[in-house]
A and B are shown apart, each in its own frame.
Chain A
Amino acid sequence: MDVTLLQLTAAIYLLATGSFILYLVLAKDFFSHLSPLIVLSGFLIHTAALGVYFFNTGYPAIAQFREALSFYSWLMVGVYLLVQLKYRLTVLGCFIAPLAFLMSLAAFTFGVGGGELPPTLKTYWLPLHVTLAFLGNAFFALAFGVSVMYLLNEYQLKNKKVSALLKHFPSLERLDRLNYVFLIWGFPLMTLGIITGSLWARVHWGEYWSWEPRQISSAITWILYGGLLHGRMTAGWRGKKAAFWTIVGFAVVLGYFLWGDAVFPGRHGGRFE
């Protein structure tokens, strides 16, 4: 993987983070237009890096842990840009840009985890499984962003400390609805990710489910988000409660993604035997 391009991408995401912070603090329209464009340019360079890799090796850059991390941040930023296009939710970038920066930074500093992929595993099961699972998680990242915004906004409104910093936040109602929209997209994608993963495991290892740490953490998240969606649809769970559980769910996803393999080694960390 071309590290220079990745470094450039990380630098641009850092720049975007700065621009988003300026937007929050100075409340100038200029930055609300500029910041997403910076993210977009980072995304394009990132896309180029992934494309070059694919062109050279004939296989997407997702087998190694660092590659997977970089691929995940690419999907997340892509989904954010689509959401920005549809909902004009510039403030959300204040959460996505730093997250994207940290992930792409990690992608070329972490050398750990993930040996070479055995040639037998270089099937299209892997990109299919990873893309679906990661797309689901990308939506969860956005849901996480709006949930954090919701809690901040809610705290201020409840406690009568209405600061100018949150002036550009969307209304609670809108944040809550977006939380729902992102979950309703993320959950089926994640489900498909789990299903394709199981099928692939059946094909390759002969078993659908092997109680891997990664599988267990996915199952926890899946049940959590499934329960949350169910509660939203039937019992009118919304607002603070929904935001809180969304954050917990994403913490499980992210926590396992970043540290899980170091603590609980498994096939998802690169031990494919």
Chain B
Amino acid sequence: MEKRIIIVGLNHDTAPLEVREKVAFENTSLRESLKRLISLPSIEEGVILSTCNRVEVLAASAEEKAAVQDIKKFLVEQESVGDPSILDGHLYSYSDQEAVRHLFRVAASLDSMVVGEPQILGQLKEYYFAAREVGTVGTILHRLFHRSFSVAKKVRSETAIARRPVSISSVAVDLARRIFDHLEEKTVMVIGAGRMGNLVVRHLIQNGVRSLMITNRTFERAVKLAEEFHASPIRFEDYRRYLKLADVVIGSTESPQFLLGSESVTEILRERKQKAMFFIDLGNRRNNFDPRINEIDNVYLYNVDHLKDVSKENLKGREGETIKADEIVNEEVEGFVRWLESLEQVPTIVALKERFEEIRQKELEKSLSTSLKELSEKERQALEELTSSMINKILHAPLARLRTQPEKKSIYVEALKRFFNLDEK
């Protein structure tokens, strides 16, 4: 039976954050979810991908329609979803060539909210490895994912799409790298527990930051966040005392007045012997830090607007690159689909060749033992070669057609089977 590749899911484009959050899979129960997925009768191989921007189930299945239905149900049945109707109109599904193209585009970060951002590839790998560990990956998804990793690499190296960071958090990390040499040795202080702050912190950690302090007006909140990031929680009353240890300070409070003014920062800098500090103001009011601190030597202050400006600047000239990237993806999709089809054709081709060979042998034997009995060894050899080459010539065109016209493949395969009684054996 032939296997199809199926993707069902939703992303930042088709569903708002509230919906995506509800469908998202918990990391802690991913193994159970995968096992549940593979236990569905229509699913033969499966991988779950769940990031803040997308939730997708990738599967290999012999029954496309049943599989799509099963996966939809699988997504809806998550406890967190509650009302199943919230997914209406948000889900998309792709199969075969389109599914392959979709995954390749996702891996190459062409389908990302921020095109070219590099995290998605890492996330894809994580989810693939998790599925492989649980044992829900077979030949097809294995090959599909590995192909997608190399497509991503190719797009990265042959286009400028990922050359410059564009998401707010990757811009922040990039700036930190321009200021500091080894992020591994730097200390980050986070003031406030805003969502944006968490994102930047996560990104900094991914890029090597190990030492992290978190403070919040509600201390419990700081403790909880600190646990998540393996950071040290700090009481809000005390954080100023620790500021001199921080190289990067992220403010994500919505404080009505400045948390830190110019004088205090000057003082802190003196205490740290003028070692550079990078302040990131992620508050909507841009009011965490006095803007004047940017004028102090060795102090750099960026707020959300500045980060966005840098991001916009980096985005310029990227449009042409996405076209180039899509061309690469298309080429790769073709190659993959060809492989997928060859999987299915092989039995038919082998059977067809065997059938012809069988006929040839039979007829040859018959003739050689009767009418052509007198032939010399040399002549027999020539006859052998002649018949072999005839069969190869006859088979050449139909086999080539099978390989090059995938869209008509199923008709051809069916016709061949019937014409030559290939199923009889």
Contacts and interface: CB of A to CB of B under 8 A. Distances in A.
Nearest to B176: A171
Q: Is the interface of B mostly helix, strand, loop or mixed?
A: mixed
Query: Chain A contact residues: over half helix, strand or loop, or mixed?
Result: helix
A237 B273 CA distance: 8
Contact of B181 (A164, A177, A238): A177
Contacts of A238: 273-275, 298
A260 to B, nearest CB: 32
B175 interface: yes
Given A171-B179, A171-B180, A162 B274 contact: no
Given A237-B274, A238-B298, A239-B297, A174 B309 contact: no
B309 A171 contact: no
Nearest to A171: B181
Interface stretch (A60-68, A153-161, A249-257): A153-161
A174 B179 CA distance: 8
A156 to B, nearest CB: 8
A202 interface: no
Query: Max chain B CB contacts within 10 Å: which of A171, A174, A241?
Result: A171
B302 A171 contact: no
Nearest to B164: A164
Contacts of B274: 236-239
B297 to A, nearest CB: 5
Contacts of B294: 158
A162 B171 CA distance: 10
A152 to B, nearest CB: 11
Given A160-B309, A162-B310, A172-B276, A153 B181 contact: no
Contacts of B275: 236, 238
A201 B177 CA distance: 50
Contacts, number: 53
B334 interface: no
Nearest to B273: A236
A174 B178 CA distance: 9
B196 to A, nearest CB: 18
A144 interface: no
A157 B274 CA distance: 17
A160 B179 contact: no
B306 interface: yes
A153 B174 CA distance: 13
A204 B377 CA distance: 107
A153 B163 CA distance: 19
Interface of A: 27, 153, 157-158, 160, 162, 164, 166-167, 169-174, 177, 236-241
Interface of B: 163-164, 174-175, 177-181, 273-276, 294, 297-298, 300, 302, 306, 309-310, 313
20 contacts: A27-B163, A157-B175, A157-B300, A158-B294, A160-B302, A160-B306, A160-B309, A162-B175, A164-B163, A167-B164, A170-B181, A171-B179, A172-B180, A173-B180, A173-B181, A173-B276, A177-B181, A238-B274, A239-B276, A239-B297
The 6 closest A-B pairs by CB, nearest first: A236-B273, A173-B181, A236-B274, A174-B181, A239-B298, A160-B306
